[in-house]
Amino acid sequence: MKEQGKGKALIKLLLILIATIGFCFGGYKYIGDVKLGLDLAGGVSITYEANEENPSQEDMDDTIYKLQRRAEGYSSESAVYQEGSNRINIDIPGVSDANAILEELGKPGSLQFITFTYDEEGNITGEGDVVVEGSDIDTAGVGQRQGQAGEADSYVVQVRFTDEGAKKFADATAANIGKIIGIVYDGELISYPRVDEAITGGECQITGDFTYEEADNLAQTIRLGALKLELTEVRSNVVGARLGQQAVSTSLLAGAIGFAIVVLIMVSLYRVAGIAASIALTMYTGLIIILLSAFEITLTLPGIAGIILSIGMAVDANVIIFTRIKEEIGLQHSVGEAINSGFHKALSAIIDGNVTTIIAAVVLNYLGSGTVKGFAQTLALGIILSMLTALFVTRWLLNAFYTLGADKPGMYGSKPPVEKPMHFVKRSKFCYCLSLAVIIVGFAAMVMSKVNTGDTLNYGLDFKGGTSTNVTFNEDMSLDQLSAEVAPVITEATGDASPQISKVAGTNEVLIRTMELDVDKREALNEALSENFGVDTEKITAENISGSVSNEMKMDAVKAVIFAGVLMLLYVWFRFKNIFFASSAVLALMHDVLVTLTFYAVLRWSVGSTFIACMLTIVGYSINATIVIFDRIREHLKGGTSEDVSYLVDLSVTETLSRSVFTSLTTFVMVLCLYILGVSSVREFALPLMVGIVCGAYSSVCITGPLWNLMNSIKAKKDADRLAAEKAAAREAKASGRRKKS
């Protein structure tokens, strides 16, 4: 019977190993099919010019925002920004056919909903009034309407109006029931739906015998016309990657080295369990590449941040399980019992930690835009996949190893129960003061920066905008050549330490984006390029451009983060049945963001497009570590122990300390490899991420538990005081009653 069990275990082990090799081979095969963003692979750059000579900034901002949402239909990492006073650039990554994009995108022109005049017989005799314009439309898309019995389903065009547009459309439909309201695009009647009833809900459906393509084309045309400005295409180019092949290759190398180091640490600390985890993580790596390709998720630096975070959480899930197994072995349980009990006890912490992060990812994907959406997509995919591999693949492997003879406690590492917990609560006041001092320094640095420079932080090109310079070189230079030879010349001439350089495919033209340059610095750049590379200064053109992260995108990110924070708070409150768990967790997240912000302010780190993704990574990483500690506190409270609550907090933090340190260490190592091997822009991204990882580990260990205890004790004291007051009042009433009787 035992031999039969070993046979099944061996078959299971072989199947998992074969699947892992297969997924790795598939990942290697499909890695070239993963869509890369403009920073990693280039794409199409289109420039439009407003037909209106002097458009207002409000109309430009509104048009840019709507074009941004539209361009995200091609890629979540698309960037839309203003050039000069009346031009708009659209950069769409991962595509190379500018004509195809232009054909699909069309020319954003004027859109009007108009009524018609009728004769006495009800025939249309001419155009009437314009009742709704493009600026009154929020969006349009394709829907499906179920057919009646015996009829096939049909496609419809769904149009949603702005608040002002909804009122106009309601009045127009109420006055034209049974009549036609036509849709005119650039002077051409493209649709003439009949009004069946007054439409007051702000949304309408255009029905007809549409195929999906016909409905989609009409919806796209309506969306194109729903802009406040009419635009004309000025130019379109295929541009190369901003970071170059060197950035991609060094990032891959850094990831491989970091992964190898994590595997070595896992095996050295957890032995057989570490081998199981390493196989599961290898399977995860192959699967994530395959799924990135399958779901056509565009990968950029923020997306890489999401993957790093999900790998960290995959390691974390395994560490939580292995720590539990070691504790059970330390309590003299057999290895088989320890494995089963370890997975059972770790389950709630793993699920709660991952669910809170998934909640944030879903909200960010739905409400965010640009880099926020790309980050959220890779994070959600990675978290779900990492949780499944940790809970199932690792468990199958451990059970197989155990059945095949790995049944000695020493093969897993024993961990005796904690007898003397460290005094985290006692030292919490020092930690509070230290954190508060750091945050105050950060605010002071931001105030000083505001006074001296006009900006609270060192906003980079993506946030603040700058100057785009078009240069035609005498020879075709690779991006790596440009980075190595031209970038230092640009930095010396302009003072910009991180210029963005991209090539126009098929030409010697190069686009150089820098901070905003005045006349003197533009001339200095032109002279430097001419002197060092023989460039004809007459062919150099320059325009000021806006930041690719618009105010609307910033507001989208802020709203998404706030909403995600509220949902995370509610989930933690629901799961832990105590509002103070949720409150202390959210305060710790605010702490991590503010401390990292202090480093940005004091060290004058550039705040660019990766800033938002970096902050979101820190939040996601920190909440997971906090949940693990809270889960242990909850477990001890359920045990009905008579120990003081402060002692239980210290015990819980101490018991999970090795997990907190190890998980932070493995994630830190991976990011450190990116920092050491990466190009300058990758380093700008990796450095604050390392600070955030350390800060998140510190707050989870030193602040969250003691802060929960502080809130709990304050409430307990208030409850005790209230109870004492009620008892005193009852005694006084009773004594007063006796005095009256006497």
Provide the CATH number for the domain around residue 512. Answer: 3.30.70.100
Answer whether residue 442 is part of any domain: no
Instruction: Assign residue 136 the CATH number of its domain.
Output: 3.30.1360.200
Same domain flag for 520 and 391: no
Same domain flag for 171 and 270: no
The answer to whether residue 66 scores a pLDDT higher than 90 is no
**Cα–Cα distance, 34 to 50 (Å, whole number):** 35
Amino acid 1: pLDDT: 42
Closest by CA to 591, choosing from 702, 455, 469, is 702
In terms of residues, how long is the chain?
742
The answer to whether residue 442 scores a pLDDT higher than 90 is yes
Amino acid 79: pLDDT: 78
Domain end among 384, 411, 438 = 411
CA distances from 239 to 251, 472, 507, 508 (A): 21, 14, 10, 11
From the centroid of its chain, how far is CA 538?
43
Same domain flag for 151 and 201: yes
Domain hosting residue 493, numbered range: 466-545
Residue 739, amino acid: R
Helices (H), 74-132: 98-105
The answer to whether residue 224 scores a pLDDT higher than 50 is yes
The answer to whether residue 18 scores a pLDDT higher than 80 is yes
CA distances from 359 to 353, 425, 506, 569, 614 (A): 10, 30, 44, 11, 18
Same domain flag for 9 and 77: no
The answer to whether residue 156 scores a pLDDT higher than 70 is yes
Same domain flag for 69 and 8: no
Same domain flag for 102 and 27: no
- Identify the H or E element spanning 513: strand 509-514
**Cα–Cα distance, 147 to 151 (Å, whole number):** 5
Helices (H), 271-334: 272-294, 301-330
Amino acid 152: pLDDT: 58
- Per-residue b/e over 507-536, b at no fewer than 16 CB within 10 Å? eebbbbbbbebeeebbebbbebbeeeeebe
The answer to whether residue 696 scores a pLDDT higher than 80 is yes
Tell me the pLDDT tens digit for each residue of 584-621: 988 998 899 899 999 999 998 888 767 877 787 777 77
Same domain flag for 7 and 82: no
Share of the chain above pLDDT 90, in %: 18
Amino acid 396: pLDDT: 92
Is 179 within 8 Å of 193 (Cβ atoms)?
no
The answer to whether residue 150 scores a pLDDT higher than 60 is no
Domain end among 519, 545, 571 = 545
| Residue 140, strand partner residues | 159
Same domain flag for 339 and 367: yes
**Contacts (Cβ under 8 Å, ≥6 apart) of 41:** 35, 93, 94, 241, 248
Average the pLDDT over each of 418-427, 428-437, 574-583, 707-716 and give the range with the smallest value: 418-427
Average pLDDT over residues 697-707: 92
Answer whether residue 60 is part of any domain: yes
Answer whether residue 221 is part of any domain: yes
Counted domains in the chain = 4
**Cα–Cα distance, 701 to 653 (Å, whole number):** 6
**Cα–Cα distance, 135 to 350 (Å, whole number):** 47
Answer whether residue 242 is part of any domain: no
Same domain flag for 380 and 477: no
Tell me the pLDDT tens digit for each residue of 364-417: 777 776 667 777 788 888 888 888 888 899 999 999 999 988 888 888 866 666
577 φ/ψ angles, rounded to the nearest 5 degrees: 55, 30
- Identify the H or E element spanning 111: strand 111-118
Question: Computed over its alpha carbons, how large is the radius of gyration of the chain?
Answer: 31
Same domain flag for 276 and 324: yes
Helix (H, G, I), strand (E, B) or coil at 709: helix
Amino acid 309: pLDDT: 67
Tell me the pLDDT tens digit for each residue of 285-315: 889 888 888 887 777 766 776 677 677 777 8
Amino acid 498: pLDDT: 76
Same domain flag for 158 and 192: yes
Instruction: Assign residue 101 the CATH number of its domain.
Output: 3.30.70.3400
Instruction: Assign residue 258 the CATH number of its domain.
Output: 1.20.1640.10
Q: Pick 72 or 174 by higher pLDDT.
A: 174
Average model confidence (pLDDT) for the chain?
83
Average pLDDT over residues 697-706: 92
Tell me the pLDDT tens digit for each residue of 73-82: 777 667 788 8
This prediction's pTM: 0.73
Answer whether residue 510 is part of any domain: yes
**Cα–Cα distance, 415 to 342 (Å, whole number):** 13
Closest by CA to 628, choosing from 320, 311, 270, is 320
Is 692 within 8 Å of 596 (Cβ atoms)?
yes
Answer whether residue 623 is part of any domain: no
Tell me the pLDDT tens digit for each residue of 526-555: 999 999 999 888 888 887 777 766 666 677
Domain end among 545, 579, 600 = 545
**Cα–Cα distance, 498 to 513 (Å, whole number):** 9
Closest by CA to 84, choosing from 60, 110, 108, is 60
Tokens read off for 23: 């997924």
Answer whether residue 506 is part of any domain: yes
Same domain flag for 100 and 115: no
Closest by CA to 108, choosing from 234, 196, 229, is 229
Answer whether residue 451 is part of any domain: no
Amino acid 698: pLDDT: 93
CA atoms within 13 A on the CB side of 502: 23
